[in-house]
């Protein structure tokens, strides 16, 4: 039988490897606490419904999602997932019409579990790289040679 931390690490993997790409609302309910809180956007909607809506919105913006998991680290009731989303931009993204371009966006997700479900989340993602891939921002300038 897996320890709580191993179980939580498996659930965290499942969120991004299976549930999010498939838009699996029932699967999401199995791993997200009804009272979940996202510290990345503390002023926004919270709870399971907010996570569900984010997942469904993401599926409407990016098709063919693959979340490549690079590393999963767990300690106590907390799991850290370093991953990269690869997908195709096929829906409106905050006023940016679909480009059909493939994107590759790195993330770090931190989840705290309570009663076997993720109840808190902190996240970091590289939005500047995403905007460059979509053609909204210019490529970064090269540093001058010394």
Give residue-wise pLDDT tens across range 96-123: 999 999 999 999 999 999 999 999 999 9
Tokens of 55: 């997942």
Angle value at C-alpha 48, between 92 and 95, nearest 5 degrees: 15
Section 4-33 average pLDDT: 97
| Segment holding 141, helix H or strand E | none
Enter the pTM of the model. Answer: 0.91
Over the stretch 42-93, which tens digit does the pLDDT of each residue have?
899 999 999 999 999 999 999 999 999 999 999 999 999 999 999 999 999 9
What domains lie within the chain, and their CATH numbers?
Answer: 4-133 (3.10.450.50)
The β-bridge partners of 94 are none
């Amino acid at each position: 039988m897996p320890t709580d931390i191993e179980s939580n690490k498996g659930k965290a993997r499942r969120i991004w490897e299976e549930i999010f790409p498939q838009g699996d609302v029932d699967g999401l309910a199995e791993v997200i606490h009804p009272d979940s809180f996202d510290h990345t956007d503390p002023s926004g909607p919270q709870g399971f419904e907010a996570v569900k809506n984010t997942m469904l919105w993401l599926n409407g913006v990016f098709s063919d999602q693959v979340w490549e998991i690079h590393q999963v680290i767990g300690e106590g009731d907390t799991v850290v997932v370093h991953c990269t989303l690869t997908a195709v931009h096929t829906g409106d993204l905050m006023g940016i019409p679909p480009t059909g371009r493939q994107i590759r966006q790195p993330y770090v997700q931190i989840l705290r579990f309570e009663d076997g479900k993720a109840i808190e989340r902190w996240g970091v993602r590289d939005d500047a790289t995403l905007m460059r891939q979509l053609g909204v921002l210019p490529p970064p300038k090269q540093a001058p040679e010394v």
